[in-house]
Amino acid sequence: MTAAAFVSADTIRAMFSRAMSAMYKSEVPQYRALAELVTRLNREALDGDRETKERRRGKLDQLGMERHGAIRLGTPEELSTIRRLFMVMGMVPVGYYDLSVSGIPVHSTAFRPTSEEALRRNPFRVFTSLLRLDLIEDEEARRAAAAALARRNIFTPRCMELIEEFEGNGGLDETRAREFVATAVETFRWRGAATVPVEVYRKLHSAHPLIADVACFDGPHINHLTLAALDIDAAHQALAASEMKPKAIIEGPPRRRCPILLRQTSFKALPEPVVFPKATGAAAVGFHTARFGEIEQRGVALTAKGRRCMEQIRSRKRATLVRGFSRHTPAERMRFLDAVEKLERRLSDRTGRIGHQMGKNTR
């Protein structure tokens, strides 16, 4: 087969991101509602702001695309194979994140395209975490997690055959590309049946909820997808006014005339019913909470000088909040946070003038 007959990695990645989106919307109706809300708000933002529409010219088709997803793996072998799977879509590991410094027993990377052209065509990436069994202090929990992970295989046989065909031939034709996407998304599907008894689940959950999320199921279900918002403040307010429960505040820098860096919010993780096996043969029904929906707004990048200025301001804010929060009620804390944020906004306008590089979006 000639290279001309192969479907491009960018096209396969776009097919895959659409399939992941459709699957997650069917699994999590609240995420579907979030997507509809963000689509409506983005349309209103474009209709009401000619400057925003001009700035987004050439990128409007990406507004309906998820920017990224996130999964959690259990073993180095799973990570090695997932690297091969993402390679079919032109996605390679970029960056290293040691989340153990935050008390989370994983380290992570992001699989994504790296060229400007590939990012322009489809920027989808998957933030991928790997469980670190060595950081589980409870020896019994560590053994139980290792045993559960050793029994599972998260890839279908056909998916492995198509990965090997891609590696052997250098590409996939349209028929096989579509089949690859269909079988690849099965790896990330939610399964409402645990692979361990409820007692083991509780043991792992008490060690850390993430350990239970990784080790107690047959696959690395998507734990969230992220949508792009033009006005995240409006989206956050709309979330709060709906039945969806967003985080208390938007993460990242405050709103300003020239948006910088990344701002994001999400609705809280949902409890989902799970069937747990029992040695007696009678199943136990419980709930697992891990999956949510996220929105982000991406501003322009900062120079090194602008970023240092921003971090100095944020450090002062954090120090003030630590001193002030402990002796106030929740309502007083929110009023205090609003006041500090207004001060930061005035100060950090200077950051934008010092640091922003117009037209160079952060990735």
pLDDT (tens digit per residue) in 258-267:
888 899 999 9
State residue 312's pLDDT score: 85
Tell me how many degrees the CA angle 136-291-111 measures, rounded to the nearest 5: 75
State residue 2's pLDDT score: 65
State residue 50's pLDDT score: 66
Residue ranges of the domains in the chain? 3-298, 302-363
* Run of H or E residues at 360: strand 356-361
Below-50 pLDDT ranges, the chain: 351-363
State residue 54's pLDDT score: 57
State residue 249's pLDDT score: 86
State residue 297's pLDDT score: 93
Spatial strand order in the sheet of 224-228 = 92-98, 106-112, 125-131, 66-73, 224-228, 284-298, 262-276
State residue 248's pLDDT score: 85
State residue 288's pLDDT score: 97
**Percent helix / strand / coil, the chain, rounded to 5:** 55, 20, 25
State residue 313's pLDDT score: 77
User: To which CATH superfamily is domain 3-298 assigned?
Assistant: Uncharacterised protein PF07063, DUF1338 (3.10.180.80)
- State pLDDT tens for residues 79-101: 999 999 999 999 999 999 999 99
Rg (C-alpha) for the chain, rounded Å, is 22
| 134, two tokens | 């060595």
